[in-house]
Amino acid sequence: MKNCDSCNECCTVLSIPELNKPFNIACKNLCNSKCTVYEKRIDTCKFFNCLWRTSNWPDWLRPDKSGVLLTVTSEPNQYITAYIKHRFALTKKVRRLIKHVGNKYPVTIREGYK
Ligand code: SF4
Ligand code: SF4
């Protein structure tokens, strides 16, 4: 499993109902790019991994660097959501990656997160 390092894209991009956190709004616990409740964060945060983190994808695809964050739901109805920060993030390489993962699971693309 890769290390997130300075990335915290999921703390902004994803909707987290337990925290009343809407999609594309920074979590209220995020301060200076760090989680202020890290040791006590909820299990949803603790056990979340984006696909980059669990893959052998290159470093440039890390969500904060690429502007692309891919998540997969758990079984039995698995599908992938590809969050794309802006249209420039949807490069040919990223399209190829999405097509590749789409061979295994259906993919929904959500564009325009900030
Ligand atoms: S988006 Fe992925 S790499 Fe970035 S903090 Fe979340 S799990 Fe880690
Ligand atoms: S509680 Fe912490 S880990 Fe969870 S979304 Fe908020 S800032 Fe991120």
Q: Which of these, 87, 78, 82, lies nearest to 98 by C-alpha position?
A: 82
**At residue 106, does pLDDT exceed 80?**
yes
- Does residue 95 lie in a domain region? yes
Q: What is the pLDDT of residue 26?
A: 96
Mutate to test the pocket of ligand 1, among 1, 3, 8, 38 (most ligand atoms within 8 A of CB): 8
**At residue 114, does pLDDT exceed 70?**
no
Mutate to test the pocket of ligand 1, among 49, 68, 83 (most ligand atoms within 8 A of CB): 49
**At residue 48, does pLDDT exceed 90?**
yes
Of all protein residues, the one whose alpha carbon is nearest to atom 4 of ligand 2 is: 45
Confidence tier at 113 by pLDDT (50, 70, 90): confident
- Does residue 85 lie in a domain region? yes
- Angle (CA) 83 35 58, round 5°: 45
- Does residue 1 lie in a domain region? no
Dihedral angle sign, alpha carbons of residues 9, 12, 15, 17: positive
Give every strand in the sheet of 80-84, ordered side by side: 68-72, 80-84, 107-111
**At residue 96, does pLDDT exceed 80?**
yes
Alpha carbon of 88 to ligand 2 centroid (Å): 27
pTM of the predicted structure, to 2 decimals: 0.94
- Does residue 2 lie in a domain region? no
**At residue 18, does pLDDT exceed 90?**
yes
List of residues 6+ apart from 109 with CB closer than 8 A: 81, 82, 84, 98
Which domain, by its residues, includes 27?
10-111
- Does residue 31 lie in a domain region? yes
Atom of ligand 2 nearest to the CA of 27: 6
- Does residue 42 lie in a domain region? yes
- Radius of gyration of the CA atoms of the chain, in A: 14
Confidence tier at 112 by pLDDT (50, 70, 90): confident
- Does residue 91 lie in a domain region? yes
Confidence tier at 77 by pLDDT (50, 70, 90): confident
Mutate to test the pocket of ligand 1, among 4, 5, 23, 51 (most ligand atoms within 8 A of CB): 4
- Does residue 26 lie in a domain region? yes
- Domain count within the chain: 1
